[in-house]
Structure 1
Amino acid sequence: MLRRLKNELKNGLQERLQPEFPAAHGGYYGDSAGAMPQRPLFDTALPASFDAATEGVDLARRTQSFFYSPRHTQYCARVDSAETIDPQHGYVVWAVAIGVWAQADLYARTRMECDGAALDTAFRALERHWNPRRSAYCAWIYYDGNNDIYYDDNAHCVNALISAYQATGKREYMDRVIAVMTQLVPTGWDKSGNPGGVPWHVAKPNSRNACSTCALAVAAGRLALMNIQPQYFGDMLADFVKFTQAHLLDNNEHLIHDSIAYDGTKWKIERVKWTYNTGFAIESFVLLYHLRGSQEHLDIAQKMASAALDRKGALYDKKATDVSKRWWWDKTYFAQHLVDGLVALAKTLGPTNELSKRIEAELEHLDGYMRAYLFDPVDGLYFRSLRLYTIDDAHVQAYNALTGGTRTLEADKEERENGGGDVAHRRMAKTLLANAAVARIYLRTAEIVPTIHLNTQ
């Protein structure tokens, strides 16, 4: 998707503007490719504990300040990096949606005028992606003929705007939600039950994806429980949950497969397990329980959550032999949605429930790890990957010291500036997607675990 969009821009579909930000600007970028600044990478004066809400509030504000460009009236990176499009390194709508969501969660926590203004600014940036003809958000900023529309992108936009509406009561947020859910979503909603679900992209009907179906199920359930078209959205939630249970739920591992795809003869399962797919599924099953009182769906949500907390299971990085030194295997921006699902379940079950206690412990385990190892004390921002050995040599050393391992660097291009040559030699780059996600993780965690004790050593 990004490569095609960049080619379109080079062909004149977007005015070529000069970046507002210098390529090297402090933080963890360095002055040239491969040159890293001489400064402490890790915070050497970490407190024994910290307040999750305070860290989330601070990071959400820092993220808005760092990535929002008043000049371009959009979210932009300082360098060409993950999820950005030339020429001003503007972000695609996925990252923008999570930026909006973080600002919504922030304002819901603080109720401060400055944070409400930041949320409105974030919404205006999102609006630049709005396609009025399709009632949908485009992957890149809208122009006439731009029909590059993803159902999962729009699910993120909708969930972010539901949170924005709940925090502010502003009708313009809800108007966009209703437009997407009643005009775009029906174009992809397979009501036949053969197989059902929702594709990934409007032009690719031969897949049914967890990231679209389960995320839209969450949106539908939230709306129904707000008594907004409860029959329509309740039926949508129930249908998406039914599809998920029939086609995406692994009944052995109790986790969610990524998708099913039609190969011309039959539907085949893509079996990779991402944290966010199970997270959205947990939350959608919990919502259906609240809406229709189905104990079966609450029971399944608990099984999924228990599997998601199993450090010997598929969602964990098993490189560490010591299970106490294992974390989820993918990225912060996926993990945020598993946190959403786990928090929703824990609040449903109550604080005395044993599974709720396990959830609280695991979120503290995650938050302490992120603060100790993903936080950069120079710019106050966070890296993306939960696998330290994919970030840089210093993080590899930290990972090996923490786990007793002997890993070598498996450089992740998402942590770096885009470009040619050896990935490991490119400059590091912070991203909107990661930092908005981490801010959300802290803010959601704070709802059930206010104080995080650092016990990663």
Structure 2
Amino acid sequence: MQALQVSNPALEGYRVLQQLWLIFFNPRYNNFIGPEPKCSGTYGDENRFNVWSAAVAGQAVMDGARIYPQEMGPLVDPTVKALYQYKNHGLKGYSVSNNRDGDIYYDDDAQVQFAFINAYEVTQNKEYLDASRELTLYLLGGWNNDPSAKTKGGILWHRDKPYLSAISNTETALACLRTAKFIPNEKDFFVGSAAKIMDWVLENLLDKEDNLIVDGVGKDQDISQRNGMKWTYNTGTALNAAALLYEHTGDEKWAKVAHDLAAAAVDRNRSIFCRDYGEMERRYYRDPSYFIQLLFEGFADYLLVFGDKAPPQIAEAIKLETARHLLFFRKYLFDPTDGLYFQMFEAYKISPDHHKLYCEEFGDSKGFEANNEERAASGDGPLEQKPLVKTLIGTASAARIWFQAARILPQGA
């Protein structure tokens, strides 16, 4: 792996985004449509993608338009209009499907908001800012005010489900902070809302033993019953929100939170790394790319906010982990047959060929087991015999990994 080099991450992000648009955006529907065979994240006979997939694609488009405005700028408005197709106009939220029903997840909608606010940033089109503000207010309406709840407060995961997820909270905080940047007369409201949410996260979902964020808790449960699973994106978005809270307020409390979360996120003894190997150089993040892209964005924003104020050992560790994972991503998840990327960093689950390549460096302690997200979502027969496919969310996340890495390591790894 050390012999492999990756230069110009931004250009690789551009190349992947260009492929994404050609393969997944269908002008007939003015939206993202899956090709055959059917892949995960699609629904209906038309193979439309769910709003989460479309939102991550939207963020990738905005990343690209920021760096390559002439080439990718024309994709901004079609992308925003595609996301509008999921809007439930009565509720002001965005549904999982274009049925526009009440099946609405607050974390999905936060990622739609990210696409909208970034679209405004790169175009200054006030329509996008208005859409972003409206959606941010909808997200804040997800606050748990149930007087009978065992766990009070927190943003719900879904409007009809009792779970209080870390990701719905940290992403709503981020939506508030990104909106505050562009609406000065409402800055105090949005920053204050973000601080309230993040205080709830730190009180209820921070594991004080390792400074990682756990997944969530039901509002009808107490904290002792919380879901202790630790994903990269929960800590990554919390890090991002803490850094932006410090940027907005100058409060050293948020600087300490950000430094602690960043240090935990690059510690290979922490459970967000695959710790099945004793050798530290064999430990990598184990999550799919659509989680890791948000961790990379958290790293990039952290370094942007703190600059020389970031503890040097943390800043260097972030650059090292970013470089290591770019090399891993390119070697194990890149598909030369179409120039796209698979999405599971547990690369031994992609195909027998990937398993063989993986074993050459990591040994054969892990057997091959096909992951359904890398296989066709239709057809009969055993999973491992179904064809390999690429997804919109995986392709968009690949572009975002490269674009965010370019902010950390502009010269590559």
Task: Give the alignment's TM-score, normalised by structure 1.
Answer: 0.85
1:339-371: CA deviation from partner (whole Å, max 9, x where unpaired): 111111122232682211111111111111111
Q: How has the CA–CA distance of structure 1 residues 191 and 223 changed in structure 2, closer, same or farther, with 3 Å as cutoff?
A: farther
Alignment of structure 1 residues 191-340 onto 2, 5 Å: 195-204=152-161, 206-228=162-184, 229-263=186-220, 268-340=225-297
Instruction: Report the structure, 1 or 2, having the larger helix content.
Output: 2
- What's the C-alpha RMSD, in Å, of the aligned pairs? 2.0
Please give the residue correspondences for 1:299-448 in structure 2 after superposition, counting only pairs within 5 Å. 299-350=256-307, 353-419=312-378, 420-448=380-408
2: CA distance, partners of 1:119 / 1:281: 27
Instruction: Give secondary structure in 1 for the equivalent of 2:7.
Output: strand
- The secondary structure found in structure 2 opposite 1:445 is helix
1:426 deviates by 0.9
Q: Tell me how far apart the structure 1 counterparts of residues 109 and 336 of structure 2 sit (CA, whole Å).
A: 34
| Distance of 1:368 and 1:264 partners within structure 2 | 42
Q: Distance in 2 between matches of 1:313 and 1:410?
A: 25
| Alpha-carbon contact 1:69-1:75 (below 8 Å) kept | yes
Distance 2:254 2:364 in 1: 40
Q: Residues 321 and 403 of structure 1 are in contact (CA less than 8 Å); yes or no, is this contact kept in structure 2?
A: no
**Partner residue, 2:47:** 89
In the alignment, the residues of structure 2 paired with residue 329 and residue 234 of structure 1 have an alpha-carbon distance, to the nearest angstrom, of 33
Q: How many Å apart are 1:266 and its aligned residue?
A: 7.4
| Cα distance in structure 2, aligned partners of 1:253 and 1:218 | 23
Instruction: Look up the match of 1:178.
Output: 133
How far does the alpha carbon of each residue in 1:176-198 deviate from its partner, in whole angstroms, 9 at most, with x for none? 1111122x224311368952111
- CA deviation digits over 1:370-398, x for unaligned, max 9? 11221111111100100111111111111
Counterpart residue identity of residue 83, structure 2 = L
CA distance in 1, matches of 2:389, 2:136: 35
Contact 1:260 1:267 in 2 (8 A): no
**Counterpart-to-counterpart distance in 2, 1:165 and 1:241:** 25
Residue 116 of structure 2, aligned match among 161, 165, 169 = 161
SS in structure 2 at match of 1:260: strand
Q: Residue 415 of structure 1 aligns to which amino acid in structure 2?
A: E
Going from structure 1 to structure 2, the CA distance change for 1:265 and 1:236 (only over 3 Å counts) comes to closer
Aligned partners of 1:320 and 1:405 also within 8 Å: no
Amino acid at match of 1:280: T
- CA distance in structure 2 between the aligned counterparts of 1:255 and 1:350, rounded to whole angstroms: 23
Q: Does 1:141 align with 2:63?
A: no
SS where residue 201 of structure 1 aligns?
A: coil
Number of residue pairs matched by the alignment: 404
Which range moved further: 187-196 or 280-289?
Answer: 187-196
Does the aligned pair in 1 maintain the 2:242–2:257 contact within 8 Å? Answer: yes
Other-structure match for 2:143? 189
User: In the alignment, what sits opposite 1:30?
Assistant: none
Aligned 8 A contact 2:204 2:223 in 1: no
User: 5+ residue gaps in structure 2?
Assistant: none
Separation in 2 of the partners of 1:197 and 1:354? 33
Report the Cα offset of residue 62 of structure 1. Answer: 1.2
Residue 185 of structure 1 aligns with an amino acid whose one-letter code is L
| Superposition map of 1:30-179 within 5 A | 48-78=5-35, 79-112=37-70, 114-143=71-100, 146-179=101-134
Which range moved further: 185-194 or 390-399?
185-194
Deviations 1:240-275 (A, max 9, x none): 111011001110010001001134677731100011
1:60 touches 1:439 (CA, 8 Å); kept in 2? yes
Contact in 1 for aligned 2:107/2:168 (Cα 8 Å): yes
Deviation at 1:56, TM superposition (A): 0.9
Once residues 27 and 406 of structure 2 are traced to their aligned partners in structure 1, the CA distance between those partners, rounded to angstroms, is 31
Letter in 1 for 2:66: A
Distance 1:349 1:266, change over 3 A: closer
Distance 1:244 1:266, change over 3 A: closer
Aligned to 1:235, what secondary structure does the other structure show? helix
**Distance in 1 of aligned mates of 2:171 and 2:275:** 27
Q: 3-state DSSP class of the match of 2:141? A: helix
Distance 2:203 2:406 in 1: 34
SS at match of 1:53: helix
Q: Measure, in 1, the Cα distance between the counterparts of 2:201 and 2:154.
A: 8
Q: Residues 52-77 of structure 1, C-alpha deviation per residue, up to 9 Å, x if partnerless?
A: 11101111111111111112221111
Q: Is the 8 A contact 1:278 1:304 kept in 2?
A: yes
Gaps of 5+ in 1: 1-43
Whole-Å separation in 2 of the counterparts to 1:429 and 1:119: 26
Inter-partner Cα distance in structure 1 for 2:152 and 2:323: 39
Q: What amino acid is the match of 1:211?
A: I
Q: Which secondary structure state, in structure 1, belongs to the residue aligned with residue 272 of structure 2?
A: coil
Conserved? CA contact 1:262–1:268, under 8 Å? no
Question: How many Å separate the matches in 2 of 1:313 and 1:284?
Answer: 21
Query: Per the alignment, in what secondary structure is the counterpart of residue 360 of structure 1?
Result: helix
| Distance of 1:124 and 1:158 partners within structure 2 | 13
